[in-house]
C-alpha cells in the first residue's frame, strides 16, 4: 500500500509541476519590497492550494489501489479454489482408475478438458496478476518521485517563508529608520528656525532699521525678477545648450574616430621622434637655465636687500598712521563678533567634525590621485625622466 501511495503522489506531482511550469513561478525583474511581499504571499497560497489538491488526488488513487488489491486477493482466492478443484478431480480420476470402471475414459477426458480449461484460466489469472504487479511497481516508483518532489516543494515553501519574513523585517527596519529620520529632520528644522531667528536678531542689531527695510525690499524685487525673467531664460539657455551639445556630439563623432585612429598614432610617433631628437637640447637648456638662475640670484640679491632697507621706514610710518584706525575698527566690531561667536558656538563642534571628515576624504582622494599621476608619468617613456612626486603633487 505504501508503494501505491508513493506512485500516486509522484503522478500527481508531475501534473502539478506541468501546471506550474505553464503558469510560471515568479518574475525575474527586481520589484519593490511591498510588491515582492504580495507576490510571495500569492505564491505561497497557490502552492498550498496545489498541495491540498494533490493530497485529495492521492487519497482517490489510494482508494483505487485498495480496490485493485482486493480484486487481486479475490483472483488469488479463485485460483486457489480452482487448484483445489483440480486436485479433487485428479483424486477422483485416480479413484476411477483404481476402480477400473467402464466410464473411466469418459471421465478422464472430461477431467482433462476441465483441467485444460482450469489451466487456461490459471494462466490468464497469472498474466493478470503479473500486469497488476507491474502497474503496482510503476505506481510505487511514481509515488516515490512524487514524495521527493513534495519534499522539494516543502523546502521551497520554507525558503519563501524565510524570504517573506526577512522582507518584513527589512520593511520594519526601514519604517523605523524613516521615523528616526523624520524626527531628526524636525529637530534640524527647529534648530534652523531658531538659528535663523537668532541671526535675524543679530542682523537687526548690526544694521540700522532703515537699511534693513531697504534690504528686504531689494531682496523681494530681485527674487520676483529672477522668478519671472531669470528662471525662464535659464531654462531656455539650458535647453538650447543641450540641443547644441547633442548636435556637436553627432557632428564630432566621425572626427573623434579619425582622430583616435589616425592622428593619435601619428602624434605618438612624432612625440617619440621629438623626445629622441630634443633630449640633448633639453638637457643643455636645463643646465643653462640653472646656471642663469644662480647668476641672476647673485646679481639681484644685493639690490633686493637695498630695496628692503629703503622701503622699511615707509612701512613703519604707514603702520604708525594705520594702527589707531585698526584699533577703532576692532573696538567697534568686538561686541558684534562676540555675539556671533556666542550664537554660533553650539554649531562649531559640528562644523569642526564635518571639516575633519571632509579634510580626511579630500586628503585620501588627493593622495590616490597623486599616486595614479606619478604611476602614469613613470609608465610613459616621454615623461619617465621627469616623473617626480613634486610634479605629481603639483598636477
- Give a yes or no: residue 163 inside a domain: yes
Provide the domain limits for residue 41. Answer: 2-24+32-182
Percent of the chain with pLDDT over 70: 63
Closest CA relative to residue 154, chosen from 13, 19, 36, 26:
13
pLDDT at position 25, please? 42
Query: 366: phi > 0 → left, psi -120 to 50 → alpha, else beta; which?
Result: alpha
- Whether 206 has a pLDDT exceeding 60, the answer reads no
Average pLDDT, the chain: 71
Residue 29: DSSP 8-state: S
- Whether 133 has a pLDDT exceeding 80, the answer reads no
Average pLDDT of the residues in 1-23: 57
Q: How far apart are CA 184 and CA 197, in angstroms?
A: 20
- Give a yes or no: residue 17 inside a domain: yes
- Give a yes or no: residue 236 inside a domain: no
The pLDDT tens digits for 71-129 are 888 888 887 887 888 778 777 777 766 665 556 567 667 767 777 787 788 788 778 87
- Give a yes or no: residue 145 inside a domain: yes
| pTM metric for this prediction | 0.24
Closest CA relative to residue 10, chosen from 116, 137, 175, 191:
137
- Give a yes or no: residue 258 inside a domain: no
- Give a yes or no: residue 357 inside a domain: no
Q: Give me the helix-helix angle, 104-206 and 33-99, nearest 10°.
A: 170
- Give a yes or no: residue 46 inside a domain: yes
380 or 58: which leads in pLDDT = 58
Q: Please identify which residue in the block is written with the cell numbers 524626527.
A: 183
Average pLDDT of the residues in 18-31: 46
Q: How many CA atoms lie within 13 A of 31 on its CB side?
A: 13
End-to-end, the C-alpha distance of the chain in Å comes to 85
Band of pLDDT at residue 27, cut at 50, 70 and 90: very low
pLDDT at position 32, please? 45
Band of pLDDT at residue 198, cut at 50, 70 and 90: low
286 or 381: which leads in pLDDT = 286
Q: How far apart are CA 206 and CA 333, in angstroms?
A: 10
How many structural domains comprise the chain?
A: 1
Q: Which helix (H) or strand (E) holds 368?
A: helix 264-379
C-alpha cell at 107: 471421465
- Give a yes or no: residue 142 inside a domain: yes
DSSP per-residue letters across 304-365: HHHHHHHHHHHHHHHHHHHHHHHHHHHHHHHHHHHHHHHHHHHHHHHHHHHHHHHHHHHHHH
Amino acid at each position: 500500500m505504501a508503494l501505491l501511495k508513493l506512485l500516486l503522489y509522484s503522478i500527481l506531482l508531475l501534473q502539478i509541476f506541468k501546471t506550474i511550469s505553464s503558469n510560471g513561478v515568479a518574475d525575474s525583474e527586481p520589484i519593490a519590497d511591498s510588491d515582492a511581499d504580495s507576490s510571495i504571499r500569492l505564491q505561497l497560497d497557490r502552492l498550498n492550494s496545489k498541495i491540498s489538491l494533490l493530497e485529495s488526488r492521492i487519497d482517490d488513487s489510494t482508494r483505487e489501489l485498495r480496490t485493485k488489491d482486493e480484486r487481486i486477493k479475490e483472483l488469488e482466492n479463485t485460483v486457489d479454489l480452482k487448484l483445489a478443484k483440480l486436485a479433487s478431480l485428479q483424486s477422483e480420476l485416480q479413484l476411477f482408475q483404481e476402480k477400473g470402471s467402464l466410464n473411466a475414459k469418459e471421465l478422464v477426458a472430461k477431467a482433462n478438458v476441465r483441467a485444460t480449461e482450469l489451466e487456461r484460466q490459471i494462466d490468464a489469472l497469472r498474466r493478470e496478476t503479473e500486469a497488476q504487479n507491474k502497474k503496482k511497481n510503476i505506481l510505487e516508483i511514481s509515488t516515490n518521485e512524487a514524495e521527493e518532489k513534495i519534499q522539494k516543494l516543502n523546502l521551497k515553501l520554507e525558503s519563501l517563508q524565510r524570504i517573506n519574513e526577512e522582507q518584513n523585517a527589512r520593511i520594519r527596519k526601514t519604517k523605523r529608520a524613516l521615523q528616526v529620520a523624520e524626527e531628526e529632520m524636525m529637530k534640524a528644522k527647529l534648530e534652523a528656525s531658531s538659528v535663523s531667528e537668532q541671526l535675524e536678531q543679530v542682523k537687526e542689531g548690526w544694521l540700522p532699521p532703515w537699511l534693513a527695510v531697504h534690504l528686504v525690499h531689494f531682496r523681494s524685487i530681485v527674487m520676483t525678477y529672477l522668478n519671472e525673467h531669470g528662471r525662464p531664460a535659464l531654462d531656455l539657455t539650458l535647453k538650447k545648450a543641450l540641443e547644441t551639445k547633442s548636435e556637436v556630439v553627432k557632428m564630432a563623432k566621425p572626427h573623434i574616430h579619425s582622430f583616435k585612429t589616425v592622428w593619435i598614432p601619428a602624434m605618438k610617433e612624432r612625440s617619440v621622434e621629438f623626445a629622441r631628437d630634443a633630449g640633448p637640447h633639453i638637457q643643455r637648456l636645463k643646465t643653462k637655465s640653472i646656471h642663469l638662475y644662480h647668476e641672476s640670484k647673485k646679481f639681484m640679491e644685493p639690490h633686493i636687500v637695498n630695496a628692503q632697507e629703503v622701503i622699511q621706514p615707509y612701512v613703519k610710518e604707514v603702520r604708525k598712521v594705520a594702527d589707531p584706525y585698526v584699533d577703532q575698527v576692532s573696538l567697534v566690531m568686538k561686541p558684534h563678533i562676540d555675539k556671533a561667536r556666542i550664537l554660533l558656538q553650539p554649531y562649531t563642534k559640528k562644523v569642526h567634525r564635518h571639516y575633519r571628515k571632509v579634510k580626511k576624504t579630500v586628503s585620501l582622494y588627493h593622495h590616490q590621485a597623486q599616486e595614479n599621476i606619478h604611476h602614469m608619468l613613470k609608465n610613459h617613456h616621454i615623461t619617465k625622466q621627469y616623473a617626480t612626486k613634486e610634479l605629481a603633487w603639483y598636477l
